[in-house]
Amino acid sequence: MKQLPLKYIAISELKPAPYNPRDISEHAFEGLKESIKKFGFVDPVIVNTRTGILVGGHQRLKAAEAIGMEVVPCVEVDLSPSAEKALNVTLNNQAISGYYTDSVQELLTEIREEFSDEFLNLLRLDSLVVSTDWSADADAMDKIDPNLDGIVTTIKVECPQDRVGEVKDAINEAIAAFDGVNIK
């Protein structure tokens, strides 16, 4: 595997991608700035050497500039313009970013022991919870009357985007036991 060297580049020399598809709320942006103030700029931005375009780290770069930083750590990659855009979208792809497990609650409890609630609020950790709402009505599927001959019904299921395929498979498997049921 090729090692990617870390360079420090002046913010004024970096060119954000005009096509970057991601933005964050002002509330989240304030939390990002506080995180950089507290922990430093620990996640380098990514720059394409062929085009000079910033591929990843747009929000971190904006936050660093807003708090008065002049130089940020960068990792340089050598990509075609198409590969550059593919990497940008991949880095921002919420479908592959994952989700928090229940263990995040234990971590937050430990963090609260050392840091004040005010600090957690600044980092936007105060409202971080694991949502299980998507599965709250899962047992309702068991209560569907299988004797609904000729009746068309819609079942609405909400779930995290990264689990849609898994949920569809589970529903299709459960419904497959019923003769004459068509799934659309």
For the cut 90, the answer to whether the pLDDT of residue 69 exceeds it is: yes
Report all structural domains of the chain as residue ranges with CATH numbers, in order of start: 6-96 (3.90.1530.10), 100-130 (no CATH), 133-175 (no CATH)
The pLDDT assigned to 9 comes to 96
**What is the reported pLDDT for 1?**
77
Q: What's the whole-model pTM score?
A: 0.64
Please, are residues 73 and 45 in contact by the beta-carbon 8 Å criterion? yes
Query: What are the tokens at 112?
Result: 């609260």
Q: How far is 111 from 100, CA to CA, in rounded Å? A: 16
* The pair of three-digit structure tokens given for residue 12, joined into one six-digit string: 């004024």
Instruction: Label each residue of the chain as H, E or C.
Output: CCCCCEEEEEHHHCEECCCCCCCCCHHHHHHHHHHHHHHCCCCCEEEECCCCEEEECHHHHHHHHHCCCCEEEEEEECCCHHHHHHHHHHHCCHHHCCCCCCHHHHHHHHHHHHCCHHHHHHCCCCCCCCCCHHHCCHHHHHHCCCCCCCCCCCCCCCCCHHHHHHHHHHHHHHHCCCCCCCCC
Q: CA geometry: angle at 151 spanning 157 and 182, to 5°?
A: 60
10 with 64: CB under 8 angstroms? Answer: no
Which two three-digit tokens encode residue 21? 């598809």
Tokens 């009505």, residue located? 137
Q: What is the pLDDT of residue 16?
A: 95
Percent of the chain with pLDDT over 70: 71
The answer on pLDDT for 105 being more than 60 is: yes
Q: Which of 70-84, 113-127, 166-180 has the lowest mean pLDDT?
A: 166-180
Confidence of residue 141 (pLDDT cuts 50, 70, 90): very low
The length of the chain, given as a count of residues: 184
